[in-house]
Structures are given as C-alpha cells and as structure tokens.
Chains A and B, each alone.
Chain A
Amino acid sequence: MSLSARMIIVLTFVGLLSGSFLATVDLLTKERIELNRQREIEEAILQVVPGTHSSQKLYEEKDLTVYGGKDKKGILVGFAIQASGIGFQGKITLMLGTNPSIKKINSLKVIDQKETPGLGAKINDRESFLKFWDNKDCSNLLTLHKPAVKTQEELSHSEINTITGATISSEAVLNLVNSSLNRLRQLEKEGSLSSEEQDVN
C-alpha cells in the first residue's frame, strides 16, 4: 500500500473512532448538563423570589432575561431578572428579585463574576455587600453610600453599601441593577411580560 493511502486510511480511522466516541459521550452527558444549567437558574429564582412554586420565562433579550415567579395558586409573587453587564475585569451576571409591583428588591444574587479576588469579588459576599440589598425600596433610583458602613441602619432607604477598595465593582453592580429595573418597568408598561412562553420547570 502506498504511503499516502496509508496516511489517509489511518487519519480517517482515528477521526471516525474519536467522533463516534465523542457522540456517545455527548449523548450520555447532554441531558445532565442541561439539567444542571436549569437547576442553577431555578435555585437562583427561588432564592430571590421567595414563595415561588413555579417559574416562567417571560421575556428575553441580550444580557437580560425576566422570569416570573408564581405561587401554588398561580398568582405572581415577583419577578426575577437575570442581567449581565461589564464589571471591573469581566462580565458580571446577577439574579435580582423584585416584588410584583417592582417597588421593592427582595434580594440580589451573583451568578457569575470575574472581579479581583479579595476586593471586587466581595460583591458575592453577604456580610459586606449582598445583605444590604435585602428588602430594599427601589421606587427611586438607588445610589452608593461611601465610605463603606457595617449595618443597614447607617444607610438611607435608597442607598447601597460600597465595598472598600472596589468602588468600580460596586458601581458596576449598582448600575446594572438600576438599568435592569428601569428596563423591567418599561417592559411591564409595554405589556411585553406575557406569560405565554414556555415553562422553565
């Protein structure tokens, strides 16, 4: 057999074998990977919209997805917004829960972030940052309180705590929250938040 024929046969064979192996692995893992992704979103929704029994995707655009959380009777208990924006070092993805009238933030959860460990990464830390978002009145635009404080009482009702040494990361989260809340209100006014779309569950 000529050399080029052997080369072609060997490479084809290696490629075919590897392809079929990978197809099998994909078949075996695809469902689980998709399930993991869904479970992550569902858990996040449940955390930011307490009392959720089932959730539905209501609206989706680039960097913004709105889910509606409903209780057992099918009454809307709140919105969960998954939003992404630019942080200090990379993309920040948040899950933000509001009440049905979009007047109050239930809580905030960081899904993904690439901020500086020990500084900006504290946006994912309850004690220094996340707890200040719990039950926050959001009828007015939220602002940052500088310098950083320790307790909720030291903040006015529309203020959010800064992380010491990570103003840019704190601001990035704040701007992302403010802009997604505005977008959510706008969407609600337009009536774009129909619940016709597919169930997440």
Chain B
Amino acid sequence: MSTRSIGQEFVKGLWDENPVFRQLLGLCPTLAVTGWVINGLAMGLATSFVLIFSSLVVSSIKKFIPSQVRIASYIVIIATFVTIADRCMAAFFPLISKNLGPYIPLIVVNCIILGRQEAFSSRNSVGRSFIDALGMSSGFVLALLILSSIREVLGVGTFLGLQVMGTWFKPWIIMILPPGAFLTLGILLGIALHIERKTKARK
C-alpha cells in the first residue's frame, strides 16, 4: 500500500519515477517516433489513453482476478484499449495514423502499461490508480515532447511543422534519423542522472 499523498502520487511520474528518464521503460516508441513533434505528441496521447483506461479497469476488477491469470487478463484489457485507440486514430486522424504505422498497435507491448498494472493498479484503489496513471502518462508525454522538440528543431529547423530557425540554419538531418534518437536520449539521460546526483548530494 502506498503512503504517498495524492499530489505526490501524481508528481512522481513527472520526475522521480519518470517512465523514460528514470525507469527507462517504453524506449522503443520513444526512439522510433520522436523525429517529429506531432508524432511524439500523438504517440504520447495514445499511450496515455491506454494507460489511464487500463489502470481504471484493472484497479476496479482486481478482486475478481485470480493471480494465476492476472497477466493474461491485463494483456487482454490493454490490447482492447490499444485496438480502440488504433481504430479511432485511423478513422479520425488518418494522416497521423499513417505516420505512426505499426507503433500504435505496438503500444500493447509497452512495458510502462503492463508495469503499472502489475506494480500499482493491482494493489491500489481506483482513485489512486487513476492519479498514478495520469502522472505516469504526463511523464511519458513530457519525455516524448522534449525528445521530439529537440530532434525536429535541430533536424529540420521546424516545430510542429512551423519554421523556427532562421535561414542561416543548416538542418542536422541526422537528428531525425534513428542515430539522432539515440544521441538525444543518451544526452538527456546523462543530464537527468547528473541532476539526480546533484539533488541527492544536497540532501
């Protein structure tokens, strides 16, 4: 059982237990779709939708699920919401859905989602699970936004498709290619660790 306040439950997802920067979870979509801000944002929101609704369902029916079949049940629940997200995006945002391609169905295997069900929603109340999922989702969206902003601005000189760099700027095309994802994530992880060490030393 958690002893944190509701506020702390939310905030931990943003930094202390940020899924990308602190837990290193969900790195596959983090690396693959953050070449453009719009793709990163869409991926973050789709994952948030799945995480929040799966947490709500899992925490409300946790008493009925025998522990032997819990993983199977969680996966079915998660897959249901992923398919809903996938179909709705294909119907209402066909362009983004085309850009993200197979990465939307692949949310099923995103460790953040199954991880939160196993570590949190299956042991906490519906309310707390909701706040936890909300915090983790915000942390994930935040991480994808930071990564995709850096990559799009440096890689093509635009932000959400709008030109932000002057004509003097020569785009670093490597930033929107796969190596750019590894470079950016590596540097950001280094910075995150550095900040963490500094704050610990102060305490």
Which chain B positions have C-beta within 8 A of A117?
A: 35, 155, 173, 176-177
Cβ-defined contact, B65 with A10, below 8 A: yes
CB-nearest residue of chain A to B171: A118
| B55 CB, nearest partner CB in chain A, Å | 16
**What total count of A-B pairs have CB within 8 Å?**
61
Structural contact, B177 and A11, CB atoms closer than 8 A: no
Residues of A within 8 A of B94 (CB): 33, 36, 40
Interface on chain B toward A: helix, strand, loop, or mixed SS? helix
| Interface pick from A13-21, A142-150, A167-175 | A13-21
Are B84 and A25 neighbours in the complex by a CB distance under 8 Å?
Answer: yes
Determine whether the beta carbon of B83 is less than 8 Å from that of A33: no
CB <8 Å contact, A21 and B90: no
Smallest CB gap from B173: residue in A:
A118
| Cβ-defined contact, B80 with A21, below 8 A | yes
Contacts A7-B68, A14-B77, A118-B171 hold; do A22 and B83 have CB atoms under 8 A apart? yes
CB of B91 to closest CB in A, whole Å: 4
What are 27 A-B interface contacts by the 8 Å CB criterion?
A3-B66, A7-B66, A7-B68, A7-B69, A10-B65, A10-B66, A10-B69, A10-B73, A11-B69, A11-B72, A15-B76, A18-B76, A18-B79, A18-B80, A21-B84, A22-B84, A25-B84, A25-B88, A28-B91, A29-B88, A29-B91, A33-B87, A33-B91, A36-B94, A117-B35, A117-B176, A118-B177
Is B64 close to A, CB under 8 A? yes
B92 contacts A by Cβ under 8 Å: yes
Hey, which chain A residues are within 8 Å of B177, CB to CB? 116-118
| Distance A10 CA – B80 CA, assembled complex (angstroms) | 16
CA distance A116 to B87 in the complex (A): 28
* A40 CA to B76 CA, complexed, in Å: 33
* B74 nearest in chain A by CB position: A14
Give every chain B residue within 8 A of A25 (Cβ-Cβ). Answer: 83-84, 87-88
Q: Which residues of A contact B65 (CB under 8 A)?
A: 10
Shortest CB-to-CB span from B105 to chain A, Å, is: 13
Residue-by-residue, is B7-41 near A (CB-CB < 8 Å gives 1, otherwise 0)? Answer: 00000000000000000000000000001000000
The smallest beta-carbon distance between A24 and chain B, in angstroms, is 9
Determine how close the nearest CB of chain A comes to the CB of B135; give it in whole angstroms: 26
State the CA gap A116–B35 with chains docked (Å): 12
A32 contacts partner chain B, Cβ-Cβ < 8 Å: yes
Q: Across the interface, do B77 and A33 meet the contact criterion of CB distance under 8 Å?
A: no
Q: Is the CB of B176 within 8 A of A118?
A: yes
Quote the shortest CB–CB distance from B49 to chain A (angstroms).
13
**Residues in chain B near residue A26, CB distance under 8 A:** 87
Task: Convert A113-145 into 0s and 1s, putting 1 for each residue whose CB lies closer than 8 angstroms to a CB of B.
Answer: 000111100000000000000000000000000
A14 to B62, CA, bound (A): 12
Note all chain B residues with C-beta closer than 8 A to A29. Answer: 87-88, 90-91
A32 contact set on B, CB distance < 8 A: 91-92
Residues of B near A118 (CB, < 8 A) are: 156, 171, 173, 176-177
Q: How far is the CB of B68 from chain A (nearest CB, A)?
A: 6
Q: Identify the closest chain B residue to A6 (Cβ).
A: B66
* B158-175, CB < 8 A from A: 171, 173
With both chains docked as a complex, state the minimum distance between the C-beta of B150 and any C-beta of chain A, in angstroms: 16
- A33: chain B residues at CB < 8 Å are 87, 90-91, 94
